[in-house]
């Protein structure tokens, strides 16, 4: 049996030659996000992002880890003046002609031609949770050890004691003195570096990372690594058969502002307010449309759901 550190096994499973994200289905075939799944939700998000771009005077929209470009199509339709570019690991899918595309190696690696972006909003929705990171577990002697996985069976065992930059990251962001034997740490250094590398490509504008995550006061003790396949949550198997994702330590990312999605979207005018009942008589179609928009807005900002996602903003001047 060969035992591989989770980070390497995870990277190979998602971005190797036949990796999960290289398969034709695309993310939408396996799970739904704010950008795909229900079109009204993606449309509201696109409207909010266009408002943000307008406030910031930005004219280029880069969707980092854009799946098959679902959000890009909304942004393009609602803001045809905006230059839209998708970045993902596959060849350009069928998209409206003006939408640009850059193919990426995947995970923590970025494509060389994604560079020198100015006047740009980079939006990375659920990218960093699929950037593989080392996983560690506190052993019965109180030592933090890297977790190794058997790629064929998904079985795990402890490897070396965590040291070097990974240990330093924990000292700053995931205090070890609070851990009990069996507790796990998803070490965020690779996500931080991937994010910093992306910020380095932004000459001027704003970058926003959106993900399910946690901050130092609420780290998840049991670990969050999990799999998704065809709409179901499954055991994390690093064999390319499922998505592999773990929550993101959002506060360790370089940021100017950090807030939940509910707050971010409310600031951009998204509210779940239903249309006045009077409209149901005067213009029933507009009333129904208003109800559908309101329910999509509620879904995007819901407590215990998408509203709890976190937005990390980083400005570049």
Ligand X SMILES: C[S@@+](CC[C@H](N)C(=O)[O-])C[C@H]1O[C@@H](n2cnc3c(N)ncnc32)[C@H](O)[C@@H]1O
Listed ranges 121-129, 165-173, 211-219, 267-275: which one lies at the site for ligand X (CB under 6 A): 121-129
Listed ranges 93-101, 119-127, 258-266, 294-302: which one lies at the site for ligand X (CB under 6 A): 119-127
The reply on whether position 106 binds ligand X by CB under 6 A is yes
Q: Are 147 and 156 in contact (CB under 8 A)?
A: yes
Among 6, 61, 127, 173, which residue interacts with ligand X (rule: CB under 6 A)?
Answer: 127
The nearest distance, CB 232 to ligand X, in angstroms, is 15
The reply on whether position 89 binds ligand X by CB under 6 A is yes
Q: Toward ligand X, which CB reaches closer, 21 or 61?
A: 21
Q: Toward ligand X, which CB reaches closer, 58 or 62?
A: 62
The reply on whether position 107 binds ligand X by CB under 6 A is yes
What's the CA gap between 206 and 13, in Å, rounded?
31
The count of residues interacting with ligand X (CB under 6 A) is: 20
The reply on whether position 104 binds ligand X by CB under 6 A is yes
Among 109, 145, 229, 266, which residue interacts with ligand X (rule: CB under 6 A)?
Answer: 109
Q: Toward ligand X, which CB reaches closer, 15 or 169?
A: 15
Residue 209 in tokens = 């990372």
Site string for ligand X, 220-259 (x = CB under 6 A): ----------------------------------------
The reply on whether position 5 binds ligand X by CB under 6 A is no
What's the CA gap between 128 and 220, in Å, rounded?
17
Q: Toward ligand X, which CB reaches closer, 116 or 175?
A: 116
The reply on whether position 300 binds ligand X by CB under 6 A is no
Q: Which residues, other chains included, contact 292 with Cβ-Cβ below 8 Å and sequence gap of 6+?
A: 40
Residues in touch with ligand X (CB under 6 A): 21, 27, 33, 35-36, 65-67, 87-89, 104, 106-107, 109-110, 125-127, 130
């Amino acid at each position: 049996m060969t035992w591989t550190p989770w980070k390497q096994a995870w990277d190979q499973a998602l971005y190797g030659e036949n990796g999960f994200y290289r398969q034709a289905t695309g993310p939408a075939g396996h799970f739904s996000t704010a950008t795909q799944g229900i079109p009204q939700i993606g449309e509201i998000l696109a409207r909010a992002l266009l408002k943000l771009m307008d406030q910031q005077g930005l004219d280029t929209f880069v969707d980092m880890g854009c799946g098959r470009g679902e959000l890009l199509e909304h942004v393009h339709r609602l803001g045809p003046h905006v230059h839209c570019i998708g970045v993902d690991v596959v060849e350009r899918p069928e998209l409206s002609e003006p939408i640009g595309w850059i193919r990426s190696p995947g995970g923590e690696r970025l494509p060389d031609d994604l560079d020198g972006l100015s006047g740009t909003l980079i939006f990375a929705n659920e990218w960093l949770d699929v950037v593989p990171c080392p996983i560690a577990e506190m052993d019965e002697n109180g030592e933090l050890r890297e977790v190794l996985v058997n790629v064929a069976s998904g079985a795990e065992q402890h490897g070396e004691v965590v040291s070097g930059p990974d240990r330093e990251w924990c000292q700053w962001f995931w205090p070890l003195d609070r851990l009990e034997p069996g507790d796990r740490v998803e070490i965020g250094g690779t996500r931080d570096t991937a994010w910093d590398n992306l910020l380095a490509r932004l000459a001027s504008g704003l970058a926003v990372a959106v993900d399910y995550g946690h901050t130092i006061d609420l780290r998840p003790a049991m670990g969050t690594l999990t799999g998704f396949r065809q709409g179901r949550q499954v055991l994390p198997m690093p064999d390319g058969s499922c998505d592999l994702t773990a929550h993101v330590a959002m506060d360790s990312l370089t940021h100017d502002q950090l807030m939940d999605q509910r707050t971010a979207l409310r600031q951009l005018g998204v509210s779940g307010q239903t249309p006045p009942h009077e409209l149901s008589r005067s213009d029933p179609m507009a009333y129904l449309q208003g109800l559908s928009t309101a329910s999509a807005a509620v879904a995007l900002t819901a407590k215990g759901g998408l509203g709890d996602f976190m937005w990390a903003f980083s400005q570049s001047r």
